[in-house]
Structure 1
Amino acid sequence: MMRLAFLWPCSATKTCWTSSGQRFGRMVRVALYAPHEPVLDYNMVIIFIMAVGTVAIGGYWAGSRDVKKRYMKHKRDDGPEKQEDEAVDVTPVMTCVFVVMCCSMLVLLYYFYDLLVYVVIGIFCLASATGLYSCLAPCVRRLPFGKCRIPNNSLPYFHKRPQARMLLLALFCVAVSVVWGVFRNEDQWAWVLQDALGIAFCLYMLKTIRLPTFKACTLLLLVLFLYDIFFVFITPFLTKSGSSIMVEVATGPSDSATREKLPMVLKVPRLNLSPLALCDRPFSLLGFGDILVPGLLVAYCHRFDIQVQSSRVYFVACTIAYGVGLLVTFMALALMQRGQPALLYLVPCTLVTSCAVALWRRELAVFWTGSGFAVNTSLL
């Protein structure tokens, strides 16, 4: 039980009395207390399941989709909606530009939070609607109805004559995103919609962005590893308030006039029965970057597994390593009782495990350069 006590001086010419007429004298002692709030909560289990599930499903989907496209290059397409977005290979230059943009955006958010938070919310609405459409489209295409196409026209996108079911799906995804945007501050249920949209966004990014080699994976993960440590542990020594830029931006500045929160996180409310929840609904957060960055390595491992026919040993090992790294993050949070840079624990766990599997299988050279892809593709 946390307790705060202080003395309240009465006027020199008056005596303090209670409502019942009891005299206290010239000094009144007032004590305030707050119930003990545990650092870890059962909601961590929900966050763990969502994070590990997203990484596993996204990595599996991305790897399978990439390999399928390699082996079915000449498959006949029956319509524009069948054409999936091409994956984007991440180059070292793209990695450097991305990190510089992340640093710049984080600093700008720290100093101009109330202005830029609405820009981020708008971007999230658009990106999450796209991600939700990408995740649901394969399921909708299996439906036996709604295959009719809209009439010929010259409108943007509609000139491709999409099927009615795909058009309805697009409208549904936009509607879900708009509903979240309007009711985003409803703490009772809006977090469920935010997490669903966030998971769809992460799955879409894991499917679209591709790391072509383990060398590229290592470069990206190590650079973001340093980025995470700097903005969580080093920036408190550089700011006037002594606060971490990363934690301040992720949780929302205490002096923010808008009281808005950034949506680029998975959030689950505390499940304990603390009386503090009556005044404020505390949430536990996990940033999208802590899912996407290791998830790209998991996707690479799955693609490599299929190419070298290794029974998905890389994929399974890297996914388990991600789960272990997340558990270590939770333990560090409990021990240090402060916000943690999750990549500090996730990057070593996933990189070291993947490298160890490659050494054990004597495939490190091929795994490092991704040359297994070129060898197997040449056999087609």
Structure 2
Amino acid sequence: MAAAAAAAAAAAAAALARLAAAFLLLAAQVACEYGMVHVVSETGGPKGKDYCILYNPQWAHLPHDLGKASLLQVRDWTASVLCSPPDLPAKGFSNQIPLVARGNCTFYEKVRLAQGGGARGLLIVSKETLVPPGGNKTQYDEIGIPVALLSHKDMLDIFKSFGRAVRAALYAPSEPMLDYNMVIIFIMAVGTVALGGYWAGSRDVRKRYVKHKRDDGPAKQEAEAVDVSPVLVCVFVAMCCSALVLLYYFYDRLVYVTIAIFCLSSSTGLYSCLSPLVQRLPFGRCRVPDNSLPYFRKRPRVSMLLLALLCLAVSVVWGIFRNEDQWAWILQDALGVAFCLYMLKTIRLPTFKACTLLLLVLFVYDVFFVFITPFLTKSGNSIMVEVATGPSDSATHEKLPMVLKVPRLNASPLALCDRPFSLLGFGDILVPGLLVAYCHRFDIQVQSSRVYFVACTVAYGIGLLVTFMALALMQRGQPALLYLVPCTLMTSCALALWRRELGMFWTGSGFAVNTSLI
């Protein structure tokens, strides 16, 4: 009994130690903030530019407004690490902001010497990952000038763009509660769900009750949709979990595989979305001559071949220029929307029971990998967020393309330093979108004037707004399905209950209603 009690006490002590360590780490993260250094040339050259800095407000606060920040001369002293009095220049740093190299001593020793030499701030240049410039309370009270870390790459860009004679102002504008780019993401996401659900529902019902002539001509039937069974749901979720964990541990190797898959699938999706429009064009109806090639012997239209080449070219262009932050995100979003529409048209949930199973299982999956995995990883980071945004220690610096991304429209330190884009994963569109498509199919069959479809689409929009509010309030990545799944499922279920159609809605038996409706 005594041994068991001792073991329990030891386990409790270890748990408390881990909790204390987590608290200290959280405190360190809170103390560390991103800021900006605004650099201009003393000779009146190019327009000024902002660069990212990492600072600790416990040393000294930075003004929130650039107009209230002092524009001071920058002194390149990077040949020194500034760790001892002999490292100071003969005349000190009177009213200057010195640039010094990182290493060999503590941040406190550097900033104490800089302050004693008359400096008005200190920028420590680091070739490594930027870390919070920490100290203790006594040291914080002694220092009255700001100290921040600047990357070596940014320092080189400053001297290349502005020359050696530059002035700089340190400031830290407040982060906006919500960036305007969220409006663009909201329109794209809700629009894709609404259009995909409407298209998939109408197409699926038409294929159920209208007989198509199967031949090799223009009226050939499209590929059959894939019904999702409970077994398929379990297999799919297991594959998602495995893929996410593998990406977490082997990101640099698997990210290129994911990029290649995205290029292929998104070009297919773009072709699927544009082909109905091209087929209706009054020109370009000539066909390939008779031949024995596997695909071309069906004599496809030349316009469709040109469309296929165009879609493939768009995905290849994105693949080559995917890291061009200025414009590549537009191609990625266009391909992503096409991919989502294609998947919503191809994958079909036959009953509300299947919808509920899929959404609830993925709800648990999303919450687990965002909120629970930080307690299981050594770094304390969420596996989902780490994979979606790209690990900070990735050698490739590649990002997964399976997201809608829009650059931040507000100038802020977070946008400049850490997250220049706002992201929404394809799963946050596809999973609720499959329910929206089911609601549309059910609407048509029971002649309900698309009330289920509209209600579920509106519920999706409300759930997305709640997600954005949670993101703004918590300032951390959110599992969107945590809010989208309850909103869409509860709304659909409540509507079916109110209309006294829950039995038919649950089993999909409404599809057995009079087939002459179409």
- State the TM-score, normalizing by the size of structure 1: 0.94
Give the letter aligned to residue 297 of structure 2.
H
Partner of 1:235: 373
Q: 1:365 to 1:275 in 2, by over 3 A?
A: closer
- 1:358 maps to a residue whose letter is A
User: Which digits, 9 at most, give the CA deviation of each residue in 1:1-27, with x for residues without a partner?
Assistant: 965366996524565555777899972
CA shift, 1:83, in A, is: 2.2
Asked if 1:83 is matched to 2:221, the reply is yes
2:367 corresponds to which letter in structure 1? I
Residue 276 of structure 1 and its aligned partner are, at CA, apart by 6.8
**Which stretches in structure 2 are left out of the alignment for 5+ residues?**
1-32, 36-54, 61-80, 99-110, 116-121, 123-145, 149-170
Structure 1 contact 266–285 (Cα < 8 Å) conserved: yes
The counterpart of 1:52, out of the listed 167, 178, 190, is 190
Q: Which amino acid aligns with 1:27?
A: L
SS of the aligned residue for 2:366 comes to helix
Q: Distance in 1 between matches of 2:419 and 2:375?
A: 30
* Corresponding residue of 1:248: 386
**Distance in 2 of aligned mates of 1:170 and 1:81:** 18
Partner of 2:56: 4
The aligned residue for residue 114 of structure 1 is 252
Q: CA deviation at 1:76?
A: 6.9
Letter in 1 for 2:286: C
Q: Map 1:101-250 onto structure 2 (within 5 A).
A: 101-250=239-388
Name the CA shift for 1:130/1:281 in 2 (closer, same or farther; >3 Å).
Answer: same
Q: Deviations over 1:319-370 (max 9, x none)?
A: 0000000000000001111000000000000000000000010000000000
TM-superposed CA distance for 1:273, in Å, is: 2.8
- In 1, distance between residues paired with 2:508 and 2:94? 84
Q: C-alpha distance in 2, partners of 1:106/1:198?
A: 19
TM-score of the pair, normalised by structure 2: 0.69
Equivalent residue of 2:371, what SS?
helix
Report what 1:28 is aligned to: 114
Following superposition, the deviation at residue 71 of structure 1 comes to: 2.9
From 452, 465, 471, the equivalent of 1:333 is 471
CA shift in 2, pair 1:107/1:206, >3 Å: same
CA distance in structure 2 between the aligned counterparts of 1:10 and 1:76, rounded to whole angstroms? 81
Shift of 1:28: 1.7
Q: Distance in 2 between matches of 1:316 and 1:81?
A: 31
Secondary structure in 2 aligned to 1:286?
strand
Alpha-carbon distance in 1 for matches of 2:209, 2:513 = 13
The superposition leaves residues 258-316 of structure 1 with CA deviations (integer Å, 9 ceiling, x where unpaired) of: 00000000000000134776677700000000000000000000000000000000000
Higher relative CO (Cα under 8 Å, sequence separation at least 6) belongs to 1
Asked if 1:73 is matched to 2:211, the reply is yes
- Which among 440, 443, 459 is matched to residue 302 of structure 1? 440
What is the one-letter code of the residue matched to 1:366?
M
In structure 2, what is the Cα distance between the partners aligned to 1:322 and 1:285?
Answer: 17
Deviation at 1:209, TM superposition (A): 0.2
Q: What's the CA shift for 1:255?
A: 0.3
SS of the residue corresponding to residue 404 of structure 2 reads strand
Greater helix fraction, Structure 1 or Structure 2: 1
Does residue 1:363 correspond to 2:507, yes or no? no
Residue among 459, 469, 481 paired with 1:343: 481
Q: CA deviation at 1:196?
A: 0.2
The 3-state SS of whatever aligns with 1:27 is helix
Q: 1:362 to 1:244 in 2, by over 3 A?
A: same
User: Hey, what's the Cα distance between the residues in 2 that align with 1:18 and 1:236?
Assistant: 50
Distance apart, 1:229 and its partner CA:
0.2
Q: What secondary structure is seen at the aligned counterpart in 2 of 1:261?
A: coil
| 1:35/1:276 contact within 8 Å kept | no
| Of 157-166 and 199-208, the range deviating more from structure 2 | 157-166
Where in structure 1 are there 5+ consecutive unaligned residues?
A: none
Q: Considering only aligned residues, what root-mean-square deviation do their CA atoms show, in Å?
A: 2.5
Aligned length: 380
What is the alpha-carbon distance in structure 1 between the residues aligned to residue 92 and residue 489 of structure 2?
Answer: 67
Tell me, in whole angstroms, the C-alpha distance in 2 between the residues paired with 1:263 and 1:64: 29
Task: Give the share of equivalent positions with the same residue, in percent.
Answer: 81
Change (3 A) 1:314 1:20: closer
CA distance in 1, matches of 2:327, 2:333: 10
Q: Tell me if structure 1 keeps the 8 A contact 2:286–2:302.
A: yes
Give the match's secondary structure for 2:222.
coil
SS of residue in 1 equivalent to 2:514: helix
Go from structure 1 to structure 2 and tell me whether the alpha carbon gap of 1:81 and 1:159 turns closer, same or farther (over 3 Å shift).
farther
What is the distance in 2 between the residues matched to 1:379 and 1:249? 47
Query: Partners in 2 of 1:237 and 1:280 — Cα distance?
Result: 23
SS of the residue 2:288 aligns to:
coil
Judged with a 3 Å threshold, the aligned counterparts in structure 2 of structure 1 residues 17 and 327 are, in CA distance, closer, same or farther, namely farther
- After superposition, the Cα gap between the structure-2 partners of 1:99 and 1:19, relative to the gap in structure 1 and judged at 3 Å, is same
What secondary structure is seen at the aligned counterpart in 2 of 1:38? coil
CA distance in 2 between counterparts of 1:4 and 1:259 reads: 26
Larger displacement relative to structure 2 (302-311 or 147-156): 147-156
Deviation at 1:70, TM superposition (A): 2.4
The structural deviation recorded for 1:77 is 5.7
SS in 1 for 2:276: helix
Secondary structure in 1 aligned to 2:293? Answer: coil
Distance 1:13 1:143, change over 3 A: closer
